[in-house]
């Protein structure tokens, strides 16, 4: 059953930093190739994030930085006020630590995963529109840092709720196994340079949708996803 098409593909090479919008990307078992493959680690071994848990440590300011992948395996970072740095060097760790006001070290993912809940995070425009309807003003989908935003032609509503437990084929090759809703955290309200100020969104998500928006997904069949690829429920 046709349910929409890929509207935006987003990869975040460094966890909790701004990422890059792509017109196509390879999808492997781990998720989008290069997505959250690096992270800023605190001295106690915690992974820099927007929250503190067993794995993660809240590190404010990461969302003011941007990371992209180019021809090099190490991400290219842009730190306020616009200085560029290559991950994997002591000088870059020093610059990032100086900006954040606390010591951190950029590292590749090893045996502890950087993804919060699942390899792929999927969201629909229908859900974003419904959240905006509940809030009383439009909501910018970038706040939710989804890997794949699906444009749906349905009226506003949490349409992907009915997709849980199904498989979603995207384009010619990729098949995702759709899991539970994606738990939201303070990152959706965190200030960021590419999205304007907005009344607290997290509170509304908690009130109207049990603090979940979008779906967790795993990769059933890898391949390439492209912008405007059609999405079909199997």
Torsion of CA 186, 19, 140, 60, to 10 degrees: 30
- What share of the chain in percent tops pLDDT 70? 100
Q: Of 108, 132, 160, which residue sits at a domain end?
A: 108
Same domain, 124 and 190: yes
Same domain, 121 and 195: yes
SS3 category, 116 = coil
Q: What is the per-residue pLDDT across 64-88, written as a single tens digit (0 to 9) for each?
A: 999 999 989 999 999 998 999 999 9
5, β-bridge pairs: 151, 230
Same domain, 15 and 43: no
Enumerate residues 6+ apart whose C-beta is below 8 A from 217: 118, 119, 120, 121, 122, 168, 176, 177, 178, 179
Task: Note the pLDDT of residue 89.
Answer: 97
The CATH number of residue 149's host domain is 2.40.33.20
Task: Note the pLDDT of residue 154.
Answer: 85
42-46, 120-124, 156-160, 190-194: segment of lowest average pLDDT: 190-194
Where do the DSSP E strands lie in 24-166? 24-28, 31-32, 38-41, 47-49, 56-58, 66-68, 76-79, 83-86, 105-108, 120-124, 148-151
Domain count, the chain: 2
Owner of token pair 């991400």:
75
Same domain, 15 and 128: yes
Q: What is the per-residue pLDDT across 78-114, written as a single tens digit (0 to 9) for each?
A: 999 899 999 999 999 999 999 999 999 999 999 999 9
Same domain, 91 and 152: no
Task: Note the pLDDT of residue 24.
Answer: 98
Checking if the pLDDT of 192 tops 90, the result is no
Same domain, 82 and 126: no
Token pair recorded at residue 164: 């849980």
| Phi (first) and psi of residue 95, to 5 degrees | -65, -45
The mean per-residue pLDDT over the stretch 29-51 comes to 97
Same domain, 128 and 216: yes
Task: Note the pLDDT of residue 228.
Answer: 97
Same domain, 126 and 219: yes
What does the alpha-carbon distance between residue 52 and residue 224 come to, in Å, rounded to a whole number?
Answer: 34
Expressed as residue numbers, the domain containing 57 is 37-108
Same domain, 138 and 222: yes
Query: What average pLDDT does the structure give for the chain?
Result: 96
Checking if the pLDDT of 198 tops 80, the result is no
The mean per-residue pLDDT over the stretch 201-222 comes to 97
Token pair recorded at residue 32: 């989008």
Task: Note the pLDDT of residue 59.
Answer: 96
Same domain, 42 and 83: yes
197 falls in which pLDDT band (50, 70, 90)? confident
Q: Of 53, 87, 108, which residue sits at a domain end?
A: 108
Same domain, 103 and 213: no
Q: Of 79, 108, 137, which residue sits at a domain end?
A: 108
Token pair recorded at residue 70: 């180019």
Same domain, 74 and 143: no
What does the alpha-carbon distance between residue 20 and residue 12 come to, in Å, rounded to a whole number?
Answer: 6
Q: Rounded to two decimals, what is the model's pTM?
A: 0.95
């Amino acid at each position: 059953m046709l349910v929409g098409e890929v509207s935006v593909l987003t990869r975040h090479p460094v966890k909790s930093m701004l990422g890059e919008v792509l017109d196509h990307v390879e999808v492997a078992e781990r998720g989008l190739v290069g997505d959250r493959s690096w992270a800023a680690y605190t001295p106690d071994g915690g992974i820099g994030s927007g929250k503190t848990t067993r794995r993660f440590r809240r590190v404010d300011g990461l969302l003011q930085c941007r990371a992209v992948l180019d021809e090099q395996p190490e991400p290219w970072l842009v730190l306020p006020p616009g200085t560029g740095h290559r991950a994997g060097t002591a000088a870059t760790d020093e610059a990032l630590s100086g900006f954040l006001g606390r010591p951190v070290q950029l590292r590749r993912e090893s045996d502890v995963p950087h993804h919060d809940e699942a390899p792929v995070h999927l969201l629909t425009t229908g859900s974003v529109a419904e959240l905006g309807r509940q809030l009383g003003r439009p909501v910018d989908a970038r706040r939710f840092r989804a890997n794949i935003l699906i444009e749906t032609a349905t009226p506003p509503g949490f349409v992907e709720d009915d997709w849980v437990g199904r498989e979603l084929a995207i384009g010619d090759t990729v098949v995702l196994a759709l899991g539970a809703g994606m738990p939201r955290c303070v990152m959706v309200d965190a200030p960021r340079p590419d999205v304007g100020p907005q009344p607290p969104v997290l509170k509304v998500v908690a009130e109207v949708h049990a603090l979940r928006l979008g779906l967790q997904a795993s990769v059933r069949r890898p391949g390439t996803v492209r912008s405007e690829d059609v999405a079909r429920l199997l």
